[in-house]
């Protein structure tokens, strides 16, 4: 499956930062979904929207009830940091998580979707079937909301872009309490593709960033990540 996302310029120099929500809206028909892991890669996110199994994937996604592609996509920087922990059933190796309270900034890719689509994307990451919409009220009001104990069952709302709330999801624990684990090469490759698509990074920039993330640094050096990201030489 190859999808073309509107306004998805491959080389974008100015990443946006979320602004504080002055008042939480009583309802929000559209939101920014801030993807910071493999869903930064637009073709991969398309499977969460349209359904299906990505090439080489171990899981078939049911897709969203509304199968339309996002109206816009933007490079964004979220307060906090990315780290790798636990074990992915899809990729093997560590999974990407977001600690919004940690120091620094994390590059991500914001997709403009309906609130229903965000609910369905988040629900699939929670290993549930898309169904009733998630209640975003507490996350809007408090900045986060723990919907369950699972890996991606905590919603985070770091603010708004152009008046539209930004949402993502992560684990309920902090980086300090995480069971760090190095990610697999295939997972890093999807990360790098998303970073080049959304932020215009070179493979060298992506390798430096990913190798320095907590969890990855125990196994991956920038040079090793770069080797994993480069395409294999053609067989004569």
| 236 domain-assigned | no
| 213 domain-assigned | yes
Longest dimension (CA), the chain: 62
CB atoms within 10 A of CB 21: 17
Cβ atoms of residues 115 and 92 within 8 Å: no
Cβ atoms of residues 96 and 86 within 8 Å: no
| 20 domain-assigned | no
Interval 1-27: pLDDT, tens: 544 433 333 334 489 999 998 776 767
Q: How many domains does the chain have?
A: 1
Provide the 3-class DSSP secondary structure of residue 206. Answer: helix
Closest by CA position to 55, among listed 91, 125, 1, 115:
1
Residue 74 φ/ψ, nearest 5 degrees? -135, 145
Range of the domain at 205: 28-229
| 15 domain-assigned | no
| 207 domain-assigned | yes
pTM of the model: 0.91
CB atoms within 10 A of CB 60: 11
How high is the pLDDT of residue 233?
A: 54
How high is the pLDDT of residue 14?
A: 86
| 117 domain-assigned | yes
How high is the pLDDT of residue 236?
A: 54
How high is the pLDDT of residue 129?
A: 92
How high is the pLDDT of residue 5?
A: 38
| 163 domain-assigned | yes
Residue ranges in the chain modelled with pLDDT below 50: 2-13, 235
What count of residues does the chain have?
Answer: 236
Task: Give alpha helix (H) positions in 51-202.
Answer: 115-125, 137-142, 185-199
Which CATH number covers residue 177? 3.10.490.10
Enter the tokens of residue 100.
């919004």
Closest by CA position to 175, among listed 111, 103, 224:
103
Cβ atoms of residues 185 and 88 within 8 Å: no
| 37 domain-assigned | yes
Enter the tokens of residue 182.
């190095």
């Amino acid at each position: 499956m190859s999808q073309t996302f509107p306004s998805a310029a491959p080389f974008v120099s100015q990443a946006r930062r979320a602004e504080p929500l002055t008042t939480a809206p009583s309802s929000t028909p559209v939101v920014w979904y801030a993807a910071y892991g493999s869903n930064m890669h637009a073709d991969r996110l398309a499977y969460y929207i349209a359904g299906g199994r990505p090439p080489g994937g171990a899981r078939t996604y049911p897709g969203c009830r509304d199968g339309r592609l996002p109206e816009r996509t933007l490079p964004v920087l979220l307060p906090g940091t990315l780290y790798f922990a636990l074990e992915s059933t899809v990729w093997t190796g560590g999974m990407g998580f977001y600690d919004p309270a940690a120091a620094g900034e994390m590059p991500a890719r914001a997709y403009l979707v309906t609130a229903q689509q965000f609910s369905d994307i988040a629900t699939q990451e929670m290993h549930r079937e898309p169904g009733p919409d998630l209640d975003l009220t507490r996350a809007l009001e408090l900045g986060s909301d723990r919907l369950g104990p699972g890996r991606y069952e905590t919603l985070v709302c770091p603010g708004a872009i152009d008046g539209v709330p930004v949402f993502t999801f992560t684990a309920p624990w902090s980086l300090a309490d995480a069971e760090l684990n190095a990610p697999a090469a295939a997972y890093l490759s999807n990360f790098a593709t998303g970073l080049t698509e959304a932020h215009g990074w070179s493979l060298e920039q992506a390798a430096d960033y990913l190798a320095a993330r907590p969890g990855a640094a125990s196994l991956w050096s920038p040079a090793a990540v770069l080797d994993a990201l480069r395409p294999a030489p053609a067989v004569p």
